[in-house]
Structure 1
Amino acid sequence: MVAYSFKARFAAPILAGTKAQTIRAERAGRSRHARPGERLQLYTGLRTRQCRHLGEAACLAVWPIELHLVVGLVFANDGWIRTDEDLDAFARQDGFRDWSDMLAFWKAEHPDAVVFTGILIRWQPLVAVDALDIAAKAA
């Protein structure tokens, strides 16, 4: 299993099943990212006292990705994402309100980045917490 840690702002979208992907830099050395079919462990605050295990999910896909932050383009899964509508949809899949929210986050985290090259990891969305509550009440 491969573990991924997220900022606290992403806990709710992950738990709700609306964030089911992450964009990461390539790893160096012996450490590696998940591969399709592997289980992922999802956390906030990993290796801190505030560590919270959000859940586990199956990795569905791993693709190279380029975020062209200045011109507003994304290249992933051998295709370009260009329209405002598609960029907003992509950003929502990554736990943001829209493309503008995603850009603001990336500029704050990577202030000098013009193009970010890394990988996109997609997983089976977690079952929404509400759905678990409903299932428990029905049993």
Structure 2
Amino acid sequence: MVAYGFKRWFSPQIQDGTKTHTIRGHRRRHAHQGEELQLFEGMRSLHCRKIIPDPICVAVLPIVIISSDLIDCGIAYIEIDGLPLHRDEIEPFAVSDGFSPDRLRGIAPAALVASTARETMGRFWRSTQPGSRFEGVLIRWRS
């Protein structure tokens, strides 16, 4: 069983089932398909809590994200399992990853929330990831 920590502003979306995946950098061990996951808010803190009962991992796919300060939307390119998303698919993907401005307004830092999910995701990525190219895994689950 593998545990993943989330910012508190993602918890409501995990609880209502609108966020059913996470993007993570490479590490020694990630979940495997068919394995239970533990999803926590505030991991390694006094306020740590399990968000939902342990869901099952349904996929672990390679992902590449390229962000850029040169474009307003922040996210220039996303590739999942070797297939690039069309520019019209990036916004819905950003929404499914929990970056809908309507869902974050008032609970996430105001500087993070933009007018679109793609731009909000771009702000988050540029503030948390070194460099413009990210390579990792997309972990999907079902409750």
8 Å CA contact 1:72, 1:82 repeated in 2: no
Q: Does 1:73 align with 2:77?
A: yes
Determine which structure has the larger helix proportion and give its number: 1
Q: Which runs of 5+ in 1 are unaligned?
A: 127-139
Q: How does 1:30-109 map to 2 (within 5 A)?
A: 32-55=29-52, 56-70=54-68, 72-83=76-87, 85-97=88-100, 98-109=117-128
2-structure distance, mates of 1:120, 1:45: 21
The structural deviation recorded for 1:92 is 1.1
Hey, what's the Cα distance between the residues in 1 that align with 2:94 and 2:58? Answer: 18
* Largest Rg, 1 or 2: 1
Segment drifting more, 67-76 vs 99-108: 67-76
Question: Who is 1:123 aligned against?
Answer: 141
- Tell me, in whole angstroms, the C-alpha distance in 1 between the residues paired with 2:133 and 2:128: 13
> What TM-score results when the alignment is normalised by the length of structure 1?
0.82
Q: Per-residue deviation at 1:108?
A: 1.4
Shift of 1:68: 1.1
CA RMSD of aligned residues (A): 1.2
TM-score, with structure 2 as normaliser: 0.79
Shift of 1:78: 2.4
CA deviations on 1:102-125 (whole Å, 9 max, x unpaired) are: 001111112x4211011110111x
In the alignment, residue 94 of structure 1 is paired with which amino acid? Answer: D
| Counterpart secondary structure, 1:34 | coil
Look up the match of 1:132: none
Partner of 1:27: 27
Distance in 1 (CA, whole Å) between partners of 2:94 and 2:124 is 11
Aligned-residue sequence identity (percent) comes to 38
Q: Report the Cα distance in structure 2 between the residues aligned to 1:18 and 1:100, rounded to whole angstroms.
A: 19
Instruction: Deviation per CA, 1:62-84: give whole Å up to 9, x if none.
Output: 0111001126110102210131x
SS state at 1:72 partner: strand
